[in-house]
Amino acid sequence: MSDDIYREIILDHYRNPRNKGKLPDADVSIHDSNPLCGDEIDIHLKVDGDKIKDIRFEGRGCAISQASASMLTEMVAGKPLTSVKDLNKNDILESIGLMNLGPARIKCALLSLKVLKLGMVKYYAERDPASAKKLQEDSKGL
Amino acid sequence: MMQKGALNVEKIRMDFPILKRKVSGGKQLVYLDNAATTQKPLAVIDAIRDYYMNYNSNIHRAVHQLAEEATIAFESTREKVAKFINAKSTEEIIFTRNATEALNLVAYSWGRANVKKDDKIVITEIEHHSNIVPWQILTTEKGAKLEYIGVDDNGYLKMHEYKGHLDSNKVKLVSVSHMSNVLGTIVPVSDIIKMSHEKGIPVLIDGAQSVPHMAVDVQKMNCDFMAFSAHKMLGPTGVGILYVRRDILEKMPPFMGGGDMIKEVHKYETRYNDLPYRFEGGTPNIADVIGFGAAIDYLNNLGMDKVREHEMELTWYAIDRISRVKGVTLYGPRNMNDRGGVVSFNIGDIHPHDLATIMNDHGVAIRSGHHCAQVLMERLDVAATSRASFYIYNTKQEIDTFIGALEEARRLFKI
């Protein structure tokens, strides 16, 4: 099973993360951690209209949490910010190719999506509280 | 294969049904997470079952036969505990839920009555969160200060810092672990207590990692308080012990009000019960305290010196083998006399959680993370470590399996 998890693509994103770093003049930044593992993720967004113009992440933690954050940034860059609400568990697990993660490790894989969704809600909460509330409802159930 | 060593491990393993378990699709379980909790022998499981099957009833009150039997069994564990740590009397032994509650009992009862503004409480950088957070709460509430004894790069406490704190003449309490749950460091508690007592300052020892693994004598050590947990020494979860020297305990205000801790209750006043019952409000965890009695019997039959000898042998073997694996960083003292059966390490850039996942595929249960010691993690400048910890039933063959899994992780991560 470890052979399935720690494939080349995961190790590649772990060791050479895409879109990693700070984002000066980000429109929204958000942080969360996984108390169980101590994985930490910060996501910074620059938004143009409703498009994600730029995205960066910072973080430390296990290969699964960091590789999925890296892949997630590639997945959503240039997409409408509101489309983040439609992303779910399976989208992440499919993209990192790990459909059979156990309950403990699945939290590692989903941490970055959780942070991104929080960022989306925070962005709209500061600009359009009514739609932020709806987005929050819609993006439940991670 | 016969194991030549301090303990007859082959025989011991037969008493632990769980060790026969297969995990991760048929792999033999190798349980190396004993610093978190140990497995339970049949004798403990049977004692709990026997209580519920044959004499379940509440203690200390009713006069019927079942209550009498339960009370005798419950109180006999208190006697066993007192003897195990060589307390002067059973009145100094208080049952709590766990070591955490025992530490909090001292903070809430003794601490609130004795710690004032600008006083200092001294702890160390190796403490478990349970010996940090209660003191943060207390010092914040009182406007007092929390001071740390630092740890050096080899895992030893910086005793000159301790002396500096004591010389400030503001210290009200010193609270230190007897053994680090991450580094394995065995702290020179006798020296710490001696220095503290010269200034008239009481010392609390967190014995959660030491009492299960070596002979501990509270009178010889001369500590004022000691906390530890049953579940880390073959006993059930839900039982902790607080030892308090009698002259201190007599002056401590009650912790939790309720049944069993009282003599008389009137509308606006209460006469509290005798020691130690004054500190045991409400129905206690009767079944598990009785189970803990069986655990102490089991350890006494082996002999705590033999337990320590066995663990030193395993730890020595494990450190020797791990340190030969490419890319490994080991934490804690290298002198075996100064450390217990806990080995923390990192390997290359493999995060401990990834390593634990790979280990799990081989049936090997280790702990990964911050081990409830984030202050120490910051000091070591690591986010997390992997930890293997040993007990009476572990073997060198199991350590070989663990090393095999470690090599496999190294291969997968191309280190």
B66 within domain boundaries: yes
Q: Cis ω on the peptide bond leading into residue B17 (within 30° of 0)? A: no
Percentage with pLDDT > 70 across chain B = 99
| pLDDT for residue B4 | 67
Mean pLDDT score, B174-185: 97
Provide the number of structural domains found in chain B: 2
At a CB cut-off of 8 Å and minimum separation 6, what does A99 contact? Answer: A90, A93
pLDDT value at residue A102: 83
Residue from B350, B351, B382 whose CB has the most chain A CBs within 10 Å, to mutate: B351
Spans of all domains in chain A: 2-138
Distance from CA of B414 to the nearest CA of A (A): 9
Q: Is residue B236 part of a domain?
A: yes
Assess whether B197 and B292 both reside in one domain: yes
Contact A57, A20 (CB under 8 A): yes
Tokens encoding B7: 């303990």
Fold assignment, A2-138: Sufe protein. Chain: A (3.90.1010)
Tell me which residue of B93, B72, B110, B5 sits closest to B394, measured CA to CA: B5
- Encode pLDDT of A49-95 as tens digits: 989 999 999 999 999 999 999 999 999 999 999 999 999 999 999 98
Both B264 and B341 in a single domain?
A: no
Active-site annotation holds for B223: no
Tell me: do B284 and B148 sit in the same domain. Answer: yes
Question: Is pLDDT above 90 for A100?
Answer: no
Establish if B4 belongs to a structural domain: no
Q: CB contact, 8 Å: A93 with chain B?
A: no
Do B345 and B322 touch, CB atoms closer than 8 A?
yes
State pLDDT tens for residues B318-368.
Answer: 999 999 999 999 999 999 999 999 999 999 999 999 999 999 999 999 999
pLDDT the model gives residue B335 = 92
Say if residue B278's pLDDT is above 70: yes
What CATH number is associated with residue B28?
A: 3.90.1150.10
Structure tokens at A95: 């993209």
Six-digit token string for B175 = 């609270």
Indicate the residue among B300, B330, B349 that finishes a domain: B300
Query: Is B3 domain-assigned?
Result: no
| Choice among B105, B299, B372, B384 that is catalytic | B372
For residue A8, the chain B residues in CB contact (below 8 A) are: none
The DSSP symbol for A79 reads S
pLDDT above 80 (res B3): no
Do B235 and B314 sit in the same domain of this protein? no
What is the residue whose two structure tokens read 């059979």? Answer: A100
B22 and B129 co-located in one domain: no
Do the chains contact at B369 and A38, CB–CB below 8 Å?
A: yes
Q: Pairing state of beta strands B120-124 and B145-149?
A: parallel
| Residues paired with residue B177 on neighbouring β-strands, in sequence order | B206
What does the pLDDT look like over B103-153, one tens digit per residue? 999 999 999 999 999 999 999 999 999 999 999 999 999 999 999 999 999
Which sign does the torsion angle of CA B389, B2, B312, B225 carry? positive
Residues B195 and B123 in one domain: yes
Half-sphere exposure at residue B70, Cβ-oriented, CA atoms within 13 angstroms: 25
Which one of A4, A6, A12, A98 would you mutate to disrupt binding with B, by most B Cβ within 10 Å of its Cβ? A6
Nearest CA in chain B to A40: B383
> Average of pLDDT values for B248-258?
94
- Name the 3-class secondary structure at A21: coil
Q: In the β-sheet with A28-34, what is the strand arrangement from edge to edge?
A: A28-34, A39-48, A51-60
Q: Provide the residue range defining the domain that includes B326.
A: 9-37+303-412
Percentage of chain B exceeding pLDDT 90? 95
Q: Rounded to 5 degrees, what are φ and ψ at B210?
A: -105, -45
Is residue B282 packed enough to be buried (19+ CB in 10 Å), middle (13-18) or exposed (0-12)?
exposed
Instruction: Kindly report the three-state secondary structure assignment for every residue of chain B.
Output: CCCCCCCCHHHHHHCCHHHHCEECCCEECEECECCCCCCCCHHHHHHHHHHHHHHCCCCCCCCCHHHHHHHHHHHHHHHHHHHHCCCCCHHHEEEECCHHHHHHHHHHHHHHHHCCCCCEEEEECCCCHHHCHHHHHHHHHHCCEEEEECECCCCCECHHHHHHHHHCCCEEEEEEECECCCCCEECCHHHHHHHHHHCCCCEEEECCCCCCCCCCCHHHHCCCEEEEEHHHCCCCCCCEEEEECHHHHCCCCCCCCCCCCEEEECCCCEEECCCCHHHCCCCCCHHHHHHHHHHHHHHHHHCHHHHHHHHHHHHHHHHHHHCCCCCEEECCCCCHHHECCEEEEEECCECHHHHHHHHHHCCEECEEECCCCHHHHHHHCCCCEEEEECCCCCCHHHHHHHHHHHHHHHHHCCC
| Stretch (H or E) spanning A120 | helix A103-125
Find the mean pLDDT for residues B214-221.
98
Contacts of B307 (CB under 8 A, 6+ apart): B6, B7, B213, B214, B299, B392
d(CA B335, CA A73): 47
- The verdict on B284 and B145 lying in the same domain is yes
Tell whether B2 is covered by a domain.
no
Q: Is A22 exposed, middle or buried (0-12, 13-18, 19+ CB in 10 A)?
A: exposed
- Domain assignment present for residue B1? The answer is no
Please report which confidence band the pLDDT of residue A132 belongs to, taking 50, 70 and 90 as the band edges: confident
**Does residue B354 sit at the A interface (CB-CB below 8 Å)?**
yes
Q: Which residue of A has its CA nearest to B370?
A: A38
What pLDDT does residue B1 have? 45
In total, chain A counts a number of residues equal to 142
Q: Cα distance from B160 to chain A (closest Cα, Å)?
A: 33
Residue B383 and residue B239 share a domain: no
Do B233 and B375 lie in a common domain? Answer: no
Buried b (16+ CB within 10 A) or exposed e, A24-60: eebbbbbebbbeebbbbbbbbbbbeeeebebbbbbbe
Neighbours of B364 (CB within 10 A): 27
What's the token pair of residue B336?
């075996």
Of A2, A14, A61, the CB nearest to B357: A2
Whether residues B216 and B314 share a domain: the answer is: no
Residues facing B145 on adjacent strands: B120
CA distances from A95 to A69, A72, A74, B335 (A): 11, 8, 11, 48
SS3 of A91, please? helix
- If you search the block for the tokens 């102490």, which residue do you land on? B296
Q: How many CB atoms lie within 10 A of CB A75?
A: 18
State the CATH number of the domain containing residue B51.
3.40.640.10
Nearest to B208 by CA among B188, B228, B194: B228
The reply to whether B283 and B237 lie within a common domain is yes
B58 lies in a domain? yes
Determine contact, residues B252/B230, Cβ cutoff 8 Å: no
Listed residues B258, B283, B300: the one ending a domain? B300
> pLDDT-derived band of residue B383, with 50, 70 and 90 as boundaries?
confident
In a domain, B334, yes or no: yes
Q: B180 and B105, same structural domain?
A: yes
